Each structure stands twice: as C-alpha cells, then as structure tokens.
Structure 1
Amino acid sequence: MTHKSIAVIGHVDHGKTALVEALTGTNTDTLAEERARGLTITLGFAHLQMSAGTLHFIDAPGHADFIRTTVSGLSGVDSVLLVVSASEGIEAQTREHFRLARLLGIERVMVTLTKCDLASEAIIETRRAEINALAVEAGDSSLPIISCSARASDGLRDLIHELVSFLSVPASRAKLTDFFLPIDRVFNAPGVGTIVTGTLIGGGVERGTGASIGTELVTIRGIQVAGVPVGSASAGSRVALNLRGINQSEVRKGDVVCAPNAFEPSSRFDVVLRGASGERPKLKHTDQVMIMAGTAYLPARVRMISSGTEPGEPVFAQLELRQPLVGYHGQHFVLRNPAASETVVGGTILDPIAPTVPRRKPLHLAVLRAAETSNPVAISHALADRDRGEVRVKDAARLSGKTVSEVEDALRREFLLASPKLALRHSEVRSATGEFREALTSLHRARPIRPFHASATVTSKLRQAPASILDWVERDLVRSGEVLETASGLALASHDPHTSMTPQQLLDYEQAAARLAEMGLRPTPLFADQTTSAEQEDLIELLIHLGVAVRLYNHGLRQHILLHADVVAAAQDTLRKQFPHGTPFTTGEARAALATNRKTVVPLLELFDRKGVTSREEDVRILAA
C-alpha cells in the first residue's frame, strides 16, 4: 500500500488544523495550551485512509516563532498543502512557508483556499489571482487551487480527489536505498521503552532489524504506522519506532535513525546554495548561521568555495557544523540568520562527509559542480582530474547518491575497476603504461648488462601517476608477459643482457666468474676497488641472473657474500659425504668439513635450510634424503 506524507502549512489562524480535522476526523492540537489558545505550537499528525493508500498529514505551526518546528514538519515530505484564508488572503507566513517549501526542494504544492463560506465570489477570485501571482514570483506558471470550507464541508470532495491523484505521483526528491528517519519526537512509553517518531525517507524498515543513531547501534523492537503495529514500513510513512539498546536521555529531536553502516555523522558538508526565486544568496565567508536539515537545528559556519555573481547562479560552500550531523547527498536544508531571525538561503548537500577544502580549490569546485548533477560518471571524471586519474568508488557513490554497484556499472566503459574500492581512468592508465615501458627501456639502455631493475627505480621516474595506477600498470604488464618479475626486480621480456655486452664487458664477466671459482668458500671482494661501480654492480647481478653466482647474506655482519654456484653445489656434496642422511651436525662441524669460516658457513647453511637441503632443529641440522 502507498504511504505518503503531506505537510499542511500557512499563516496562523488560516484554518489548517480545522481543515485537517474535517478531512481526517482528528484534531491535531493535542496540547492543552494549543486548544486553549487556538494556536498550533507543535507538529500535529493525522491520517487519511483511502483505497489508493494512506495520506499522513503533518499540521505545522503557522506562527513566525515556530519556524524551526515548521521546517521539521517539511523534512521528508514530497508535497505541501498551502492553506490560505479567503477572508485574510496572503500574509507574511504564507509567503515564508511557501518560500521554505521551495528552498527545501518540495516541488508539488497544492493550495487550499479556506473559509470560502465567509467570502464573496469577487473576493475569492481576487485571492486566486494573488495566489497565482505568488506562484509566478517563485517561477511557477500556476498552482492548483481548491476552494473549500472546513466548517461547511464545501469543496472537501474536490480536495480529496486532488489528494488521491497525489498518491499516484512518484516521489520527486532524492532517492535513498537505505532507510533514513529524522526524529521529530522522543518519549518513553511505560513498559515499552524508548519511542521515536518521524517521516520515513528512503528504503523500508523492518521490525527486529538493526539501526544506528549517530555512532550507537540499536534494534528496532517495534513499528507503528498510523497508530497500528506493523512488521514493516515504507518510505513516506509517518512511523513510530520502539528502540532497544538506547535510553530516551541519549536521543533528541534532530537525531537520525538510519540503516547501520549506510550513513555517517559528519561536521562538514559541501553544499550548493540557492536563494528562492533565483535571488543570489546573501552570505559571506565565515558567516555564522543556523542550519535546519531534517529535524536538526544546529549552529554552523559558512566557508565559501565559490561566490555566484549572477542571479540564479549556484554558490558552492562548505558548512562547518558545531557538532556532527547525519546527512545524505541530495538532502535539502535551509540556513537561518540567528541574529535577525530570518531565513537566509536554501541549499542541497552534495558531500555529507566532506574533506577540508583543499588548496587546489578549482579542482574541488569542479567536483562539486559535477556532484550537483548526481551523475556518477561526471563525478568520477572530476575526481580523476583532481586525484590524477584515480577514483575511490565509495566517494563517487557518496557524491552521486548512488549505490556502489550502480557506480561500478556506470564506470565500466571509461574507467578500469582495479579493485572493489578503486576505479582508474583509462586515459591515465594508458599514459602510465606507455611511460612505464619507456622508463624501463631507458634503464635498460643506460645499463644494458643489468638484468633487472627494482620496481621503485622504475616508478621513481613516473612521478605524475599515483601509486595505485603504477601498481596496476606493473601487475598488468607482468600478467601479459611483456615484463618479467623476479625477486631482483623487473625487466622487459625482450631484454637480453648477455647479448648486450661489449667485448670488454664479456672479458670482465669471464674474469669475474673465474675469480669466484678460485675463491671457493673463502670469498674476498670480487673487485680490487674499495667501492663498487654501477657497472660492476650490474656485472654481479648478471652473474646471479645467469646462475653463475649465488648471493648470501650474513645477518649478523649485515654483509652480502658472493659464491660461485659450482662451489655451492660442491659444498652440498661434501656435506652429504661427511654427514649421511640422519647424521646430525652442528654449524662448527659443517665449517670444519667445508674448510671455511663462520662468516661464510652460517649464511650458506641458511640457504640450504630455505632450499630444503637441510632441516634445522635447535643447534643441529640433518640433510634431507
């Protein structure tokens, strides 16, 4: 069954409460003070059950002193019923409430001209003209106007017919997959526990499921819609939730009950600001304001990111809230001047978990302009421009109001989904791939006999690309076989260091191999120089790469040792002869058998352990079969 909430707004004493009572049979003024004064102070609630669904009426106060309460009533509704008295006409709060509805992004406005039994036909026509003029001021050609009298019941049937049509119209506001409930009332029911009420936005909610309030996790113990216990409730419903896991004192009006892990409290919102009827927002950098978002009313400071110079041009800003608030992309809000008690501007949240405005403000501004479109592809391109080609999928989802899977589907053509969390733009990946090849080619050209180069050496030449793109490019080139990867580093598969040697390098190579063989298990520096040159280092790497030399590492001395591969093989044979399978031996015994020193035998035995030639148990080793 369809459930929709509709806010009833307008100037004080224009007959809002009487109209709701005539439609539903419920007097929404429940406080004794309200009935005594004939003045609505708090939000009132009533329900009208029809064949097409249920309408939930939210009767908002009409007095200027209760604007905060009125805005709370407007949160989450798709439509408003603007009540205008035929005898009084448009007054201050008529205009203010209509402006608030527009600033909060409520597009569907129906006007009810009440108390028509007290006005002449001429007066009624005049009021209609005034209402249409108000609509034109707001950029509308006209508004639907139903004349009625709550006291005489005239016109109520026409109004109900219009309300039935409203039930069939799809919601026009930001669509949320997960449920989101701004709390407008909190109380404790004896024997039941904490109860919160509000207008449900987004996805449905079910009894027995988990939810969060700020950083607290709770369980939804029970649900009521229109005063009736139900197992679940859908968006648009006025609901009461019985919460387990939190006390009444820990919850207040303005908090949000929402799906767990779907939303996050934040003290910074990136927003777009717009004045009603296209006027330029009257705000300056660092202005102090009060933000009314959902049912919350909090102090905030304005940080201007852009200042629109033309009427109707969007103004982008960051709001720094005095305390964290849960919001979502596409959520509308209004800002009030606390000193003048006036509504300054309306706006829409673009990023509900905004970072501190970066120094590269133009690139950040481009992200916000894209976020205003809610297009995940446009947003991802703006993020990629700002962040050198990489996009965190959850950021694009948050800035577009889409789910992660929706963003992934949208990005597949122009982005590479490198992981469930990261998307990389194809253009930057292609560019980095070419630069990676060129960097490795350049290193091979500069040091042709070096078989491999460390990954960090290659990527150090590519400072423009982020690490995420470089990592993906490297792995992709290795997967394709274009680049070879070993523990020593990377090389183009086409690179052959042996055939790249000059006659002198070939001679040096042969002499080094012979010297290693001569040194046996008592190695000394391979070269006479005190320091090893780059070419000598490359020669050592080539000897290791071609299997001529084996490099050991003595951890105690923090020193590399180079042995000829044939010498290592001979040492293995010697140990097998001296210590047949099953014969334990110590490090000292191995040193004596090999006629070497501790400096060499310790890393040599560690090599044999790693290769499975020997197995060590405490201070002795045994040769494998």
Structure 2
Amino acid sequence: GRIAAADRLRAEPAGIDVRVRSVQVHDEPVDAAVAGQRVALSLPGIDRDELRRGDALIEPGSYAPSYRLDVELRELAPIPERALVHHGTSATLARVVRNGRFAQLRLAAPAIAARGDRVVLRAGTTLGGGTVIDASPPRHANADRFERAERGEQVVHGPVRAADGDWVFSDEWLDELRDRLLAAIDNADPLDPGIPAPADPWAAVVIPRLGLERRGSKLYRPGTAPTLGERERDAEALEAQLGAEPVKVPDPSLARVLEDQGRLVRVGDGYAVSPAAYEDARRTLLAELEQHGRITLARYRDLLASSRKTAQMLLERFDADGLTRRIGDERVARRSALGSTRGR
C-alpha cells in the first residue's frame, strides 16, 4: 500500500473518516510512504483517545470489520476454547471453534484482516499461530468450507460476479452485512448517526436491499434525521465566535458535524475558521501563486495581516486539501489548483 499527504482514509474498526495532513518516515517529512516503512502520520481533528492500538487506516470501503476469522492453525501447545488473538498490533479475546487443523476465531471486538494475514494465539504463553484463509466468513465450523477456503476456491457467500455480470450473494451474507451496518450505525456519533455507505463495486446492487436509508454518501436507520438536537445552541455559540482567526473547538465530534454541514472549516489541531474566512484566505493564496508562482509563510502572513500561527494553520490545511505543496520553506500550487480558480 501507499499513503500520502492529503489522502482521505477511514480508521477501522473505529469507523472514523480521517485526512492525512503530513507523513514522516524515520522522523523525516516525505510526500508519501509505502508498505514496510516506519511511518508517522498527522491526522488533524482526531483526538488520541478516538483511536486505539490495532486500528487500521484503509481506503474507504476496501475492507469491512469482521467479528470472525477462519484460520489454518499451527499448534505449539493445546489451544483452549478461549484465547487471546494477536493480529498486527491488536490483541483481542476470542472463542476458538476448532475443526481439525482449522478454526474459526469468534472475536470479542471487530478486526480488519485480509486473506494471508498471520495471527498468534496466546493464553499466558504462546499456544500457536495461524494464517487467515477467510477474513469475513459466515458463522460455521464446517470442514469442507474450511478446506475450500484454504484452496482459494470461491464459496458463494457473498458477493461474487457471475458470468452474466450480475452480482451473486447469499441471503445469509446480506443479513450479516445488514447486522454489521446497523451495529455500526448504533455506535456512530450521535451528532450524526450515519455511517459511510460501502463503496465496493457491488454497492449499487446491495444497498437498496438492506432496508436502510441513504442520504448522500451515508447510511442511516430509516427516519433518523441527523440533527444536533440539544447541541444546536453550542453550535450557534461557536459559529458566533468564528472569523478569520482560528478559534479553539473543544469538541472534535461537533466540529466534524459542523464542517460536514458547511458551517465551519477545521484548521490546525482542534481549531476552526468560518467558511467565508477560509474562502478569502484561499483566494488570497491562489492570487499570489498565480502572480509569483510560490509563497513563503512570512509573505502569506503579511498578505493576511494575521499571525504566523494563523498563516501556518491555513497553509497546512491547503496542503491537505491538495491546493498547495510544500518545497522547503515555500509553497507552490499543485497542478490543477490555479486553473480551478479561473472563472470563479
């Protein structure tokens, strides 16, 4: 995989959409990093306690959290019915349903896994390991299904594309998907109780059969209206403070909802400006870049007649939004940024 500044990803199984502001490899800033490197990411607007050890950053819709993993075991010691499953940097208690050298791990917390991933089972000491052969299986303990999954044969659980181009999936898979999505909706931010709709190729066929309500890119329980409710007063009080200078927003969940509603723009770590101020700052930046080709932090601060901190926050947001790219102490426009302003 590859991850770059300005990428928009999803933290799973936390279910949080994130934006990558910057990337470091061994404490050095880089434009992008690839699998196998030791990477640090800046994710603005996300509090540390919103993510936990073992969460994965993925392309939205590329993987689904699963409470079950089918594995082929390699046993070092007798494996009890319950064990701690280590996958990546996560450790989750699981019930181990054995069938010969295979097992289904029924996890206490969802995992993001792929076929071929390795797991380690422990209970005070290392009991053995396993290789994932199905990362989202149905609830079963059938030896034939295990063996077919191991061989890579397709068990039509869901969904696969048939020769005529139609998508084929089982009722069991559809029910399981609905249950997973409803569980995610029930655990979603109460300020906006929806979740991103699956973006998989089969989504257009499957989503209408789920009995959920789609609004834009999100799914909701039917009749559920995303509303701030009692938090509307907090939102209005915050909006009244917004202007060209960033305002500290103590509630990141409220900030995300208001940004989705177009009522503020998040900058820096936990700050926001008004949409009008952001647009003015963007126009000022792009006008300077169109005329001179590059801009420094000091020059931008002077153009805004603002503080260095404010200019820095805005420039970092523009970098993350794909408008600009940092080269040394200067910013230059990305390829399409200047053309997008003509005719506005």
TM-score by length of 2: 0.45
TM-score by length of 1: 0.26
> Who wins on radius of gyration, i.e. which is larger?
1
* Bigger share in helix: 1
Q: Identify the structure with bigger relative contact order (alpha carbons < 8 Å, sequence gap 6+).
A: 2
